[in-house]
Structure 1
Amino acid sequence: MKLQSLVLATAAALTMTTAFAIPAGTWTVAAGAHYVDPKSDNGTLLDGDVSVDVDGDVRPTISGEYFIANNVGIELLAAIPFHHDITFTAPNGNIIEGKTQHLPPTLSLQYHFDGYNMPMNVKPFIGIGVNYTTFFEEKINFPGVELNLDDSVGVAGHIGLDIPFAPTEAFRIDARYMDIKTDASLDGADIGEIDISPWVYGVAFVKTF
């Protein structure tokens, strides 16, 4: 009898989860802002002679997600260009400043824990995907020298929480890890790799269609 009760309770829970899951075919759009926070050690150039520091930046973002199955969605994140100051420090302490802009579109496969009777009906989610970062407008404050940063492709992880405040609207808090490494060159000569690999923290308004 206990086993039968457990089976019936499990079946009921699964039925409830399915009934309240985000159904396949659903679209969501999220508009907000994200802060790109590069890792603290961004590598060294010129065989370790020059250390690199990349600062953070915040910009508006937008993402769209299509649910290919119940609670399972494919999301594309886009943003306006992020701006980063870059500090190059030589062993003698001399500093040369540089800067760049980048666009980091990210495609993720995500699972939403909807229909699990969470407190306040919050809806956690996790995701994993790929990030493509393209750099442009690179500049370095060294007369007659041109800085170039190659585009980057790497894995991206995503975790977040949707807090509903209306049937089709929610407030989102999320964090992403992006594996972003770029080969740097001066006047076409390779000088090493800059490892940005940031955590990206954000908030957004989410609308479901």
Structure 2
Amino acid sequence: MKITIKTLLLTSALAFVTGPALAQSQGDLTFGIGIGSVNPKSGNGTVAGVEADIASDEAITLTLEYFIRDNIGIELLAATPFEHDISLPGVGNASTKHLPPTLSVNYHFTNASPWKPYVGIGVNYTTFFEEDFGAANLELDDSFGLSAQVGVDYKVSESGWIRANVRWFDIDTDVSLNGADIGEAEIDPFLFGVAYVHKF
């Protein structure tokens, strides 16, 4: 994970210093479709008296970005549901699905290269559903938190880019079992993504 982040940052830095050119213009609209892998941090808090371990998962990601100024876009991230296995050692195994809609403000750097780096910050809303813990009623509360991202686009046509990015989400959720509070899950995942982005 550290190598991936360093690679993206280095690529962004190299692209930035290659010279001035316009990346995106005010009024542009882009749509992206790709694959994202959500990777929760190690150690996901104490749930039911034990250390929870939440597994990774992959899903289809969708983005829509409108440029309110040259190089500055408002982006909405959506996805098909992610599903995570939850291990509670000595207690049992559970699972849940979630959707992570995120609204971000992105800044796309200008340069004369086909590589276009960008950074963004936003707000994430995560909703959990279809929790499963056998016959017990497991519930994970929805979460609001900050989100940040860094990425780079590679131009493949006049209106198309291949995008690679890394996002981080602040996701903490209260967990209850049969109506009783049993702890807080600290997920705080990275989302590693690859997508095709088209400008209309």
In the TM superposition, 1:22-33 aligns within 5 A as 22-33=24-35
> Quick one: structure 1 residues 35 and 21, their matched pair in 2 at CA, closer, same or farther if it must change by over 3 Å?
closer
Please state how far the C-alpha of 1:51 moved relative to its aligned partner: 1.4
Structure number, greater radius of gyration: 1
Alpha-carbon distance in structure 2 between the residues aligned to 1:21 and 1:174: 17
> Could you tell me which residue of structure 2 aligns to residue 130 of structure 1?
123
> Could you tell me which residue of structure 2 aligns to residue 71 of structure 1?
71
Alpha-carbon distance in structure 2 between the residues aligned to 1:206 and 1:188: 44
> Could you tell me which residue of structure 2 aligns to residue 205 of structure 1?
196
> Could you tell me which residue of structure 2 aligns to residue 59 of structure 1?
59
Alpha-carbon distance in structure 1 between the residues aligned to 2:161 and 2:78: 19
The count of residues paired between Structure 1 and Structure 2 equals 182
Gaps of 5+ in 2: 1-18
Please state how far the C-alpha of 1:117 moved relative to its aligned partner: 2.4
Relative to the length of structure 1, the TM-score reads: 0.84
- Runs (4+) of structure 1 exceeding 4 A deviation are none
One-letter identity of the residue aligned with 1:32: G
Alpha-carbon distance in structure 1 between the residues aligned to 2:47 and 2:83: 21
> Could you tell me which residue of structure 1 aligns to residue 36 of structure 2?
34
What is the alpha-carbon root mean square deviation over aligned residues? 1.3
Gaps of 5+ in 1: 1-15
Is the CA contact 2:172–2:188 (under 8 Å) kept in the aligned structure 1? yes
- Does residue 169 (structure 1) correspond to residue 169 (structure 2)? The answer is no
One-letter identity of the residue aligned with 1:123: K
- Does residue 154 (structure 1) correspond to residue 145 (structure 2)? The answer is yes
Please state how far the C-alpha of 1:95 moved relative to its aligned partner: 4.2
Alpha-carbon distance in structure 2 between the residues aligned to 1:95 and 1:187: 15
> Could you tell me which residue of structure 2 aligns to residue 80 of structure 1?
80
Relative to the length of structure 2, the TM-score reads: 0.88
